[in-house]
Amino acid sequence: MNIAFITSEVIPFSKTGGLADVSGALPLELSKKKQNVKIFTPKYYSIDPSIHKFEYLHNISPLKIRILNRTYDVHLFKGFLPKSKIEVYFFDCPFFFHRSKFYTNDPDENERFILFSKAVIETIQRLYWAPDIVHCNDWQTGLIPLMIKSNYNWDRLFDKTATIYTIHNVAYQGKFPLDTINKAEVLGRLNFPIAKVEHNNMFNFMKAGISFADIITTVSETYAEEILTAEYGEGMEAVLNYRKSDLFGILNGVDYKIWNPKTDKLIPFNYSLDSLSGKEKNKKNLLEMFNIKMKKNVPLLGIISRLAIQKGFDLLQQIMPDILNLNINLIVLGAGEHEYEEMLNYYAKTHPHKVGLYIGYNNDLAHLIEAGSDIFLMPSRYEPCGLNQIYSLKYGTVPVVRKTGGLADTVYDWNEYNENGLDVGNGFSFVDYNSDALLHTINRAIGDYHNKTNWKKIQLNGMKRDFSWENSANKYIDLYKVAINKKTNK
């Protein structure tokens, strides 16, 4: 199959969150399974073509892309995913993409991704490459299924192209004023009710993706069910229910070439299932980095996260004094909302021998925290898939999570699963979103931390589980076939 994978971020070139990891890993796995994948992504200012040895595509660029009455030059570069033959096409339009952040609140944010969407489709046309599948991700690419069916439906190249739209987080929808319809020029060419792209009197990129893609996916089975409800659907529940028979959950895999304590080059001491002694040494190293003395039998709680309300920081905030009364250490790596940065700063300053804090983005430290912590905290309000808890499992770092979305699909509560005779308990979880439940669950985890036999078992249950892309990529291939069938039988 020819698969066009369209994404607004992809490792190692650009990353703000899990979407980048998925975009770097899924195409690799698909290509291992003999699928022909090309990736299409913006070239943000921070991506330096000379470092990555990109080729400038003189034969195609500059593309001239028009939005309303202005025409923009879009320059195309071609690179490859590292150590692979997967082509990555980068779209450079300095006016739109040379900004300090990948995503902005600027008034032309809608135009930035209209331009990207059109440029992707027109590049595929110029490559004379007929995709069987166009796989779109998140709101930034939500217009593409619609554009293929409207603006570009004159082109026979797309006659057999089926579209897939993957929701990585239903909360980020790309909502803009209704005049976006004119900017994208999507009305007039196809007769459809405006309700397919409009929600609460706003033009909604994600709603367009959900309405027009042949198949919709999201990144875990539980999240696929949750987003059908008003509690989790963020207003998209009605259109998702309408498309329910075409909605599927596929858990993200993780890349064990990057996240494996046995081979991880970013941690000082490697370790594995057979011998966990390196883990203790990493813990010492990590604590020393923050000038915290390592004491025997004192569990180290780790957090790596965007500091956002989604991740449960409001709960943590309520019980920080209680947590700090416990005989524990806490190390947090994160950046995001000012309120939570302030809160964490306060506790790091008032409890310097107990709390280590790094505000910012630091991949090396993320690896060391996974390797050196005993317990990983992820009490998310909602979590489409979540990667850090899956990395934690592999690193023998026992996750304490709220039972929601991908967390529910990967972390099995030690008490619940063992009481039921299932020998798979690999972490601790709670259901009700409140701080008492979180504190109680942290205490349960600490209780078992002091029972060395139980703890080892919990760690090993996690380390043994395989969440690699192999399985998930097969599921995507099956769905691609379903989408193609749907398209052919229309």
Under the rule (CB under 6 A), what is the footprint of ligand ADP?
A: 17-18, 21, 304-306, 333-335, 361-363, 366, 385-388
- The two tokens of residue 129 are 């490459």
Q: State the minimum distance, in angstroms, from the CB of residue 400 to ligand ADP.
A: 15
Helix (H, G, I), strand (E, B) or coil at 290: coil
Q: State the minimum distance, in angstroms, from the CB of residue 358 to ligand ADP.
A: 8
CB 111 within 8 A of CB 67: yes
- The two tokens of residue 42 are 């913006």
Nearer to ligand ADP, 386 or 425 (CB): 386
Q: State the minimum distance, in angstroms, from the CB of residue 97 to ligand ADP.
A: 21
Nearer to ligand ADP, 212 or 382 (CB): 382
Rounded-to-integer distance, Cα 35 and Cα 86, Å: 10
Q: State the minimum distance, in angstroms, from the CB of residue 366 to ligand ADP.
A: 4
Nearer to ligand ADP, 119 or 371 (CB): 371
Q: 202 — phi, psi (to 5°)?
A: -125, 150
CA angle 108, 110, 116 (to 5 degrees): 105
> Which residue bears the tokens 């806490």?
330
CB 286 within 8 A of CB 372: yes
Nearer to ligand ADP, 8 or 161 (CB): 8
Q: State the minimum distance, in angstroms, from the CB of residue 55 to ligand ADP.
A: 29
- The two tokens of residue 221 are 């089975």
- Distance, C-alpha 234 to centroid of its chain: 18
Question: Which of 164, 179, 263 lies closest to 487 in space, CA to CA?
Answer: 164
Q: State the minimum distance, in angstroms, from the CB of residue 386 to ligand ADP.
A: 4
Q: Which amino acid is at 138?
A: D
DSSP-derived secondary structure for 198-248: EETTEEEHHHHHHHH-SEEEES-HHHHHHTTSHHHHTT-HHHHHHTGGGEE
Q: State the minimum distance, in angstroms, from the CB of residue 428 to ligand ADP.
A: 18
DSSP single-letter state for residue 140: G
> Which residue bears the tokens 């990983």?
376
Rounded-to-integer distance, Cα 49 and Cα 39, Å: 16
Nearer to ligand ADP, 309 or 460 (CB): 309
Q: Sort 230 into a burial class: Cβ within 10 Å, 0-12 / 13-18 / 19+.
A: exposed
Q: State the minimum distance, in angstroms, from the CB of residue 22 to ligand ADP.
A: 8
Nearer to ligand ADP, 17 or 49 (CB): 17
Nearer to ligand ADP, 299 or 334 (CB): 334
Nearer to ligand ADP, 310 or 454 (CB): 310
Helix (H, G, I), strand (E, B) or coil at 193: coil
Nearer to ligand ADP, 310 or 418 (CB): 310
Q: For the beta carbon of residue 306, count every other beta carbon within 10 angstroms.
A: 17
Task: Using CB positions, name the residue nearest to ligand ADP.
Answer: 18
Q: State the minimum distance, in angstroms, from the CB of residue 362 to ligand ADP.
A: 5
Q: For the beta carbon of residue 380, count every other beta carbon within 10 angstroms.
A: 24
